[in-house]
């Protein structure tokens, strides 16, 4: 018959094994990373091939709720209203001057107009 092992002895053995496993992981990690880098280089593997860029992985919030990084970032950044810098000739449309220019601005410039002509405060 085997001798019964106490709970405390088992917990001590578990802790020792966990420390041993972590030490083995650390010692093997460098060689594994080098092997992975070699294979990525040899086969021309990219982020999309590995599936990292195709799906947003859910992140756990402190309350246990899951959100993607995009959802978290969109909540964290408030929209800042910028006053308009340019106004259309018919004064119906405005543009702040940030981001991609609207179609009416692009059309005006392509027709030979100058962006400076559309400035609100000349």
Q: Is residue 1 very low, low, confident or very high in pLDDT (cuts 50, 70, 90)?
A: very low
Closest among 112, 92, 74 to 102, alpha carbons compared: 92
Cβ atoms of 77 and 83 within 8 Å: the answer is no
What's the whole-model pTM score?
0.37
Share of residues in the chain with pLDDT > 90 (%): 45
- pLDDT tens digits, one per residue of 2-13: 567 899 999 999
Please, are residues 58 and 66 in contact by the beta-carbon 8 Å criterion?
yes
- For the segment 60-113, what is each residue's pLDDT rounded down to a tens digit? 666 777 767 666 666 656 778 889 999 988 888 999 998 899 999 999 999 999
Ordered by start, the domain boundaries in the chain are: 1-45, 48-78, 86-118
At residue 50, what are phi and psi to the nearest 5 degrees?
Answer: -85, -10
């Amino acid at each position: 018959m085997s001798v019964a092992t106490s709970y405390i002895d088992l917990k001590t053995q578990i802790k020792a094994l966990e420390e041993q496993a972590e030490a083995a992981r650390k010692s093997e990690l460098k060689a594994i990373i080098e092997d992975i880098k070699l294979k990525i280089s040899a086969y021309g593997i990219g982020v999309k091939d590995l599936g990292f860029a195709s799906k947003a992985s859910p992140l756990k919030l402190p309350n246990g709720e899951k959100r993607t990084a995009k959802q978290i970032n969109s909540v964290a950044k408030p929209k800042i209203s910028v006053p308009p810098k340019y106004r259309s000739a018919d004064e119906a449309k405005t543009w702040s001057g940030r981001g991609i220019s609207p179609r009416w601005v692009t059309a005006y410039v392509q027709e030979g107009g100058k962006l400076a002509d559309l400035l609100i405060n000349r």
